[in-house]
Structure 1
Amino acid sequence: MTLTQKFAYLFSSTLGLSILIYLLRGFGIVTFLPGSILLGLIILAITTFFIYSVLITKR
């Protein structure tokens, strides 16, 4: 597995987890998690997207 594939997997995982937690908090199922955890996941997804896009253009 190349580094580009690892960042693609990490980006899709963090984005999917962020969306899932956001939806579950909206429905009132996961209300005990603070908003900083959701914000951290969103920032991690954005960061991994930028790293992934830089790695793609390096080819």
Structure 2
Amino acid sequence: MSGSPNLGVTIFLYIAGILLIILAIVLLLQAFGILSFPKEAIWALVLLAIGSGILAGVRRRG
């Protein structure tokens, strides 16, 4: 009963994990006034997290 999880679930979990880590770091740096990101950069980080999550999920599965 402990088979490997579905590929879609694996990819989603990688995306969610990478996205949470990146956004937490960015929000902390913004809160302390170290960095100031425009909204476009935030969206670029979201897309980067999605892309790297997909690649990590497929690579781990393969």
The corresponding residue for 1:19 is 24
State the shift of 1:38 in Å.
Answer: 1.1
RMSD value, Cα: 2.8
1:50 aligns with 2:54: yes
Q: How high is the sequence identity, in percent, across the aligned residues?
A: 20
1:33 aligns with 2:32: no
Question: Structure 2: which 5+ residue stretches go unaligned?
Answer: 1-16
The count of aligned residue pairs is: 46
Question: Structure 1: which 5+ residue stretches go unaligned?
Answer: 1-10
What TM-score do you get using the length of structure 1 for normalisation?
Answer: 0.52
